[in-house]
Structure 1
């Protein structure tokens, strides 16, 4: 039986390949304001089945100012829309849908700004 896919690992790995100067993570580093820009991904739901899943993912972009955060969020959105086919480690993406376009999201640290989007990704293990 195929192992379930770790969509957070897949997306952080994939984002690092597309945006090598941006830190991609699932948990924000301590003192995040010192390592900007940062893209954080987190699964927030979605159906899963034995041979595939359609997880919903929140993608949050953190930058020093709103314009930089929004610009990077739009670039990430565009790249995600083109995400298809085999991805590492060990999955195949069938499609990506934007559920919520980039928008301001509050954050308590006044040294940075946060812009987020929500996507659904249909994928399955590469070996099934």
Structure 2
């Protein structure tokens, strides 16, 4: 079970998962070994599933971020889900409720790349695209 100390640890790790057990311990007044045990237990129980990094994609040349909603043609959902998983431009994909079936977050280098992706997706169903201007 997760207690208030674990919740504090999770909040700190969410902000910076690179901190050492000693640094984490100083922030919540626990020894490094106690922190290590708590973190290990949360990893073992799959409360912590993975650690990751946040990359500034614009610095790598990806200037277009967009959400694409896809209403899949009748009877094609399973096939489309398999196909979407192979598209390198897709950074997140979700099956959703509502009038559309799939919600995609995509990352591209140019408007031409976005156009090509939309053209591919139109083979699977109707698309609705929203450019991401900024994060709030």
Query: What is the TM-score with the length of structure 1 in the denominator?
Result: 0.32
Q: Taking structure 2 as the reference length, what is the TM-score of the superposition?
A: 0.31
Greater relative contact order (Cα < 8 A, sep 6+): 1
Structure ID, larger Rg? 2
